[in-house]
Amino acid sequence: MRIDMAAAARALGFGKRTSTTAALMVALAFGVAAAPAALRHPGAVGSPGMPGSPGAAGAAGDEDPARAALAEASAAKRAAQKLEDSAREQALLEVAGRYDAIADNGDFDPASRAEAAFRAGEILRARGRLDDSAPRFAKAVELGADAPKGREFAARGLLEQAHLERRAKDDASALQLYGQVRERFADQRRTAATAMTWSGKLLLAAGRTDEAAQMLQGFATEYPEYPKDAVRNADLLAVELLEAGDEAGAKAAVDKLRAAMAPIVDGGGKQAESVSAALKAMRVTELLGGY
């Protein structure tokens, strides 16, 4: 990849008086020449100091080469995001390539490889390359599911696969994958909670109100550590019930939510204030005339 050093230097905040330093920093950030080669061909001669190369141990001491490679790719991503227009897009695709190289390196630990695969998919998905992102997310699941430190990215990879199916309007596949997130990665609470919310939303949109209620109302009990999410989910359900003409059902949903949130609100403190504000801001309360 050819990078306009002058443009990149300006984006990184270097002026004319530091052009030599700027060029060096840009080269380090993007791994111009040496870094991509070293990551694509771990152990290649002539790339001292890069993870996987003969000189890496001496340059990085006892640092884990996989973590070092991830850190360098992350630095390159941050630098790329400061560029403009086509230079930015080109640089980010190069970073995705870096992450791919880490994910493909069998000498690295599965957890690091899972993270790298997820990061590559994330970049490609954000660029609109959904077909290219999907196999990266699948690889994150494959590599990280059985690695304790990789389960976070395995769960997030499976969640992203579900999102891709939802955006493709394949609700059945999306619901199945959201369910798998909760079943396979129950220990990844934040990701599993998100999967439950989206399951409820899809069921609600499909007119499967009873099933949606189990997800959206049940959220408060299943994931009590995310009370504001529970409020938003119950509000979605209550609004849907009200708009369908079931005022009694909507009020019942509000009452059930308030009962679930009462221990938090009564406990005082910042969380209580935050939850109280969320309850007062519920759309269904406004639609019910302040109920």
pLDDT, tens digit (0-9, with 9 covering 90-100), for 152-208: 999 999 999 999 999 999 999 999 999 999 999 999 999 999 999 999 999 999 999
Is residue 236 over pLDDT 70?
yes
Of the chain, the percentage scoring pLDDT greater than 90 comes to 78
Residues in the chain: 291
**Mean pLDDT value across residues 208-215:** 97
**Mean pLDDT value across residues 16-41:** 41
Is residue 213 over pLDDT 50?
yes
Task: Report the predicted TM-score, pTM, of the whole model to 2 decimal places.
Answer: 0.79
Distance from C-alpha of 212 to C-alpha of 78, rounded to nearest angstrom: 40
Q: Is the dihedral of CA 54, 60, 62, 63 positive or negative?
A: negative
Question: Looking at residue 105, what is its pLDDT?
Answer: 98
250 and 288 Cβ atoms separated by less than 8 Å: yes
Helix ranges (DSSP H) in the chain: 5-11, 19-30, 34-40, 56-60, 65-80, 85-104, 110-126, 130-144, 151-167, 171-184, 189-205, 209-216, 219-222, 227-243, 247-267, 270-280, 283-287
Question: Looking at residue 68, what is its pLDDT?
Answer: 97
Angle at 265 between CA 195 and CA 256, to 5 degrees: 60
The residue among 111 and 18 whose pLDDT is bigger is 111
Coil, helix or strand for 218?
A: coil
Distance from C-alpha of 56 to C-alpha of 105, rounded to nearest angstrom: 15
Tell which residue, 92, 159, 207, has the closest CA to residue 167.
159
**Per-residue pLDDT tens digits for 95-153:** 999 999 999 999 999 999 999 999 999 999 999 999 999 999 999 999 999 999 999 99
**Mean pLDDT value across residues 249-262:** 96
